[in-house]
Amino acid sequence: MGKYFSDVVEQALRDIYYDVTTGRGQENFRRLEQASAAGDGDASCILARCLCGYQYVWEEHGFPEDDDRAIALFHKSVEQGSALGVLVALRTGELTPQVRARMPFASLQEAFDVVLEKAQMGDAFCQYTVGNAYFWWDFLEIQGKGRESFASQQAFKAYLKENISKCEDWFWKAFRGGMYYAGNNLSRYYEKGDEDIIAPRPEKAEGIWRMGAELGYPIHQYIYAKDLDQAGRKQEALKWHEKAAANGETKSWYYVGLAYEEGKIVGKNLSYAAQCYERGLKPSGSVGCYNRLGALYFKGEGVPQDHEKGVKLLTKAYEEENNWGCVYLGKAYLKGLGVGQDYRKAREFLEKVTWNNEEVFYLLGVIYAQGLGVPADIKKGVEYLHKAGNRADAKEELLKYKKTLFGKWVRR
**280 within domain boundaries:** no
Cα gap 309→218, rounded to integer Å: 31
Indicate the pLDDT class of residue 25, thresholds 50, 70 and 90.
very high
Q: What is the mean pLDDT of residues 37-62?
A: 96
| CA 230 centroid distance within chain | 18
Please choose, from the candidates 31, 25, 92, the residue with its C-alpha nearest in 3D space to the C-alpha of residue 57: 25
The 3-state DSSP class for residue 401 equals strand
Please tell me the predicted confidence (pLDDT) of residue 233: 97
Q: What percent of the chain has pLDDT over 90?
A: 97
Q: Write out pLDDT tens, residues 76-103.
A: 999 999 999 999 999 999 999 999 999 9
Report yes or no: 394 and 362 within 8 Å, Cβ to Cβ.
yes
Report yes or no: 69 and 61 within 8 Å, Cβ to Cβ.
no
Cα gap 238→217, rounded to integer Å: 16
**322 within domain boundaries:** no
**246 within domain boundaries:** no
Residue span of the structural domain in which 378 resides: 356-412
Q: What is the mean pLDDT of residues 20-38?
A: 97
Residue 52 has pLDDT above 80, yes or no: yes
Residue 150 has pLDDT above 80, yes or no: yes
Mean pLDDT of the chain: 96
Q: What letter would DSSP give residue 240?
A: H
**264 within domain boundaries:** no
**123 within domain boundaries:** yes
Indicate the pLDDT class of residue 407, thresholds 50, 70 and 90.
confident
From 155, 189, 209, the end of a domain falls on 209
Q: Write out pLDDT tens, residues 244-276.
A: 999 999 999 999 999 999 999 999 999 999 999
Cα gap 387→6, rounded to integer Å: 69
Q: What is the pTM of this model?
A: 0.92
Count of domains for the chain: 2
Q: Write out pLDDT tens, residues 358-378.
A: 999 999 999 999 999 999 999
Please tell me the predicted confidence (pLDDT) of residue 66: 97
Cα gap 324→295, rounded to integer Å: 10
> In a 10 Å sphere around its CB, with 0-12 CB exposed, 13-18 middle and 19+ buried, how is residue 93 labelled?
exposed
**240 within domain boundaries:** no
From 178, 209, 240, the end of a domain falls on 209
Residue 134 has pLDDT above 90, yes or no: yes
Please tell me the predicted confidence (pLDDT) of residue 405: 82
Q: Write out pLDDT tens, residues 315-326.
A: 999 999 999 999
**49 within domain boundaries:** yes
From 175, 209, 243, the end of a domain falls on 209
Indicate the pLDDT class of residue 412, thresholds 50, 70 and 90.
confident
**382 within domain boundaries:** yes
Residue 1 has pLDDT above 80, yes or no: no
Report yes or no: 353 and 362 within 8 Å, Cβ to Cβ.
no
Report yes or no: 335 and 342 within 8 Å, Cβ to Cβ.
no
The 3-state DSSP class for residue 402 equals strand
Q: What percent of the chain has pLDDT over 70?
A: 100
Please tell me the predicted confidence (pLDDT) of residue 364: 98
Cα gap 359→328, rounded to integer Å: 10
Please tell me the predicted confidence (pLDDT) of residue 48: 98
Q: What is the mean pLDDT of residues 38-60?
A: 96
Indicate the pLDDT class of residue 2, thresholds 50, 70 and 90.
confident
